[in-house]
Structure 1
Amino acid sequence: MTSVAIRPEELRENVAQALGALARSVTLARGEVTVVVAAADYLQAMQTLRDAPACRFEQLIDLCGVDYSAYGDGAWEGLRYAVVVHLLSVGLNQRVRVRVFCPQDDMPVLPSVGGLWASALWFEREAFDLYGIVFDGHGDLRRILTDYGFIGHPFRKDFPLSGHVEMRYDQEQRRVVYEPVSIEPREITPRIIREENYGGLH
């Protein structure tokens, strides 16, 4: 039987107390608790969130990469790559979000949490494939969505929308072949028409 969820303010205090100095910040916004931890403390903080009596986040329900290079219309000045994890405690009926930034933009690396939650292994492969984030300790880190010969990481903000190569089936060779992209890159800015006093607004 699942218990009644505690108030978000109480969850924030419980998480902050359990993590102590391992947390850079524990914030509450829109009823959701978000924890930010340093890469060096990531593994220990995640184990604490799983095992601490007031936390008991026994399920990892999501893990994804984020590229902040174009965040805030280019006003972002922090580290470029982050991993965001959502944890669930079924027994205590509570959720928490954890954000950790990769310490280097040129080679984004973080420890794998696959040893704490097996479900993380698939999500970490996706973040590696799409963002190029390497998870140290992952036993099978390889692409999961793109093709084996794919070059680059398509969710990075500097990856071209048209990609680098295109593929087609060649009748003579009787196989799929890769060729340079033949599409001319272009940017289309939508034309916005605003009516004066639309909906009574001035």
Structure 2
Amino acid sequence: MSDTHTLYATSPEAIQSSLAALLGDRADAITVDRGEVTLTVRSVNYFEVMQSLRDAPVARFEQLIDLCGMDYQTYGDGGREGPRFAAVVHLLSVSLNHRVRVRVFCPEDDFPVLASVTSLWASANWYEREAFDLFGIVFEGHDDLRRILTDYGFIGHPFRKDFPLSGHVEMRYDATRQRVVYEPVSIEPREITPRVIREDNYGGLH
């Protein structure tokens, strides 16, 4: 009974401390916010750190439950310095009832590349394909890195902050050629800003 209680009562601060001891200078930062532990690592250490998180007795993160891309181009109204693209991974230890969020930045903005962790967790397969499709992050070592959500003829990566809302190409069925065709998008890109009108003393404010 006491062992079970201890297992499920471990605090985020205790997880933070054990991960700091395990990873040492391979961890750039380990923070606790809103009861959640976030580990930030450099891309050069990413695969080795993830392997330690899976195999080390104090970690035992058996499951990768999510991986997504991030684009920090306009983060904080564009005032942020540093790499633009990152992958964020959520790991779960079933045996220890621990969770951790791992964030790793791609060293290059023009051609973002990270190591694949599909050899550690098979569940990373489709998640990495999604991050490649939507953000253009290349996962080195992935056996089948191709688009998963957008169409085969899609151009660009639609979750990047600089991707146009109307896209680059549009698809339609051409009855004459009896096949699907791709053409440059015909919608004129525009940005609509809602007009806000406030009457005097609106909402009782002066």
The TM-score by the shorter chain falls in which range?
over 0.9
- In the TM superposition, 1:40-189 aligns within 5 A as 40-189=44-193
Instruction: State the partner residue of 2:42.
Output: 38
**TM-score normalised to structure 2 length:** 0.92
> What is the rounded CA distance, in whole Å, between the counterparts of 2:164 and 2:192 in structure 1?
14
Which secondary structure state, in structure 2, belongs to the residue aligned with residue 61 of structure 1? strand
> What is the rounded CA distance, in whole Å, between the counterparts of 1:111 and 1:155 in structure 2?
21
Instruction: State the partner residue of 2:14.
Output: 10
Q: 1:191 Cα shift?
A: 2.5
> What is the rounded CA distance, in whole Å, between the counterparts of 2:18 and 2:115 in structure 1?
25
Q: 1:175 Cα shift?
A: 1.1
> What is the rounded CA distance, in whole Å, between the counterparts of 1:113 and 1:193 in structure 2?
52
Task: Report if aligned partners of 2:68, 2:128 keep a CA contact under 8 Å in 1.
Answer: yes
CA deviations 1:135-163 (Å, max 9, x no partner) are: 11111111111111111111111111000
Task: Report if aligned partners of 2:153, 2:182 keep a CA contact under 8 Å in 1.
Answer: no
> What is the rounded CA distance, in whole Å, between the counterparts of 1:84 and 1:194 in structure 2?
41
98-107 or 46-55, larger mean C-alpha shift: 46-55
Letter in 2 for 1:160: P
CA deviations 1:24-74 (Å, max 9, x no partner) are: 000000000000000000001101111111111100000000011111111
Instruction: State the partner residue of 1:26.
Output: 30
> What is the rounded CA distance, in whole Å, between the counterparts of 1:194 and 1:16 in structure 2?
53
Letter in 1 for 2:95: G
Which secondary structure state, in structure 2, belongs to the residue aligned with residue 53 of structure 1? coil
> What is the rounded CA distance, in whole Å, between the counterparts of 1:5 and 1:194 in structure 2?
51
Q: 1:194 Cα shift?
A: 5.1
CA deviations 1:59-103 (Å, max 9, x no partner) are: 000000001111111112110000000000111111000000000
> Percent of aligned positions with the same letter in both sequences?
70
26-35 or 150-159, larger mean C-alpha shift: 150-159
Count residues in correspondence. 201
123-132 or 188-197, larger mean C-alpha shift: 188-197
Letter in 2 for 1:98: V
> What is the rounded CA distance, in whole Å, between the counterparts of 1:191 and 1:58 in structure 2?
51
115-124 or 170-179, larger mean C-alpha shift: 170-179
Which secondary structure state, in structure 1, belongs to the residue aligned with residue 8 of structure 2? coil
Q: 1:192 Cα shift?
A: 3.2
